[in-house]
Amino acid sequence: MAWDQLSDEQREIRELVRTIAREKIAPRAAEIDASHEFPWDVVELYRENDIFGLFFEEEHGGLGTGTLLALIAIEEVSKVCATSGLILAVQELGSLGLKLAGSGPQKRQYLPKLASGEWLCAYALTEAGSGSDSAAMRTTARRDGDEYVLNGSKRFITNAGVANLYTVFAKTDPEGGHAGISAFLVESDAPGFEVTRLEPKMGISGSTTGELAFDEVRVPAANLLGAEGEGFKIAMRILDRSRPGVAAQALGIAQGATDYALEYAKTRETMGKPIAQHQLIQAKLADMETETEAARGLLYRFGQMVDDGADDSELTKASAMAKLKCGDVAMAVSTDAVQILGGYGYIKEYPAERFMRDAKITQIYEGTQEVQRLVIAREMLKESRAFLLAGVG
């Protein structure tokens, strides 16, 4: 058995998730991809086996098993189906605002429904003209008595149309830049709220990605997360903790692609022997395995940091590094897997091309790889390392 740092309890839960993924989700993966339909049967599997509970504390109806195990669950599912892994990652993303900034009544009202999977959730920050530049958002929220009135739109929102609860960011002070952004909890049945478009995509085809419209949507003032003007800070705290969910998805894709390419290379013969015995193929497999394991180290380190109570300031760089490494490895490894399969890697009868298509988005959403590099460098510039140069002439 390969060495790992997990406890017996963590290994037991990992094995449960792994078994569900292999026996129940893997046989559905190609169909989910081909149909472009949201897999409600997978959601039901998660509900029946309390998988959503991995992402929530016991006081809110969850299992309280911690961040590392939650990331491992996303990884295990993503080894066979990135769409199904994303369902778990977005349940975390969409609920983090509540966990980090929600009031007691807000948490009691919503978190148990999310922990059980009765409700799905979503995170609505991005707009057509406002991706990495959050201050450019145009969605507004004006106070009207005991309510806020939201107007505007959001773009590229995962779980659009299937979520019951959206964490929505809007300008309460249109001239205030980042300081003018606030965060709100918006239920899907709010009058004036509409999903106006679902995007056809290159990968993660069974996951809905859509455009939201807000036309005089009235939200109770009690649904404001934190205080007015705290939305940007909340959004950044959320992203620091949600990016590793995408990293876990990417890591799962990388490991799934590696495992499939390895098995293929053992059985495909050329020149009288399996291609796994040809040195050029062995070199690819070795690099794929090594890079995937290196990425896993950064991801698991982040999960352990959260479980050990690391400060938010320590998580920013660790989160960005995990997302950067895992996303880049997923793309490189899945591309190599297609190459190892040759012509078979390019046709849909085999999953290699799906791994490759699914991998690409992990370099884009939850902050592009370019943004991750900026975040990492910015955090480095805050650090003092002069003592390392002592005595260097």
- Residue 131 has a pLDDT of 76
- Residue 130 has a pLDDT of 82
Per-position pLDDT tens, the chain of length 393 = 466 789 999 999 999 999 999 999 999 999 999 999 999 999 999 999 999 999 999 999 999 999 999 999 999 999 999 999 999 999 999 999 999 999 999 999 999 999 999 999 999 999 998 877 888 899 999 999 999 999 999 999 999 999 999 999 999 999 999 999 999 999 999 999 999 999 999 999 999 999 999 999 999 999 999 999 999 999 999 999 999 999 999 999 999 999 999 999 999 989 999 999 999 999 999 999 999 999 999 999 999 999 999 999 999 999 999 999 999 999 999 999 999 999 999 999 999 999 999 999 999 999 999 999 999 999 999 998 877 666 665
Cβ distance 281 to 273 under 8 Å?
Answer: no
- Residue 133 has a pLDDT of 80
> What does the chain come to in residues?
393
CATH of 8-116, picked from 1.10.540.10, 3.30.70.2860, 2.40.128.20, 3.40.50.2000, is 1.10.540.10
3-state SS, residue 144? strand
- Residue 185 has a pLDDT of 98
Domain 232-383 falls in which CATH fold? Butyryl-CoA Dehydrogenase, subunit A; domain 3 (1.20.140)
Q: What is the pLDDT of residues 331-386, one digit of tens each?
A: 999 999 999 999 999 999 999 999 999 999 999 999 999 999 999 999 999 998 87
End-to-end CA distance of the chain: give it in Å, rounded: 48
Tell me the domain boundaries of the chain. Answer: 8-116, 121-229, 232-383
- Residue 294 has a pLDDT of 97
Cβ distance 252 to 75 under 8 Å?
Answer: yes
* pTM, 2 dp: 0.96
φ/ψ of residue 141, rounded to 5? -140, 115
Catalytic (active-site) positions = 366
- Strand partners of residue 151: 140
DSSP 26: G
DSSP 384: -
Does the domain at 121-229 match CATH 3.40.50.300? Answer given as: no
Spatial separation of the C-alpha atoms in residues 341 and 347, rounded to whole Å? 10
Chain-centroid distance of CA 160 in Å reads 15
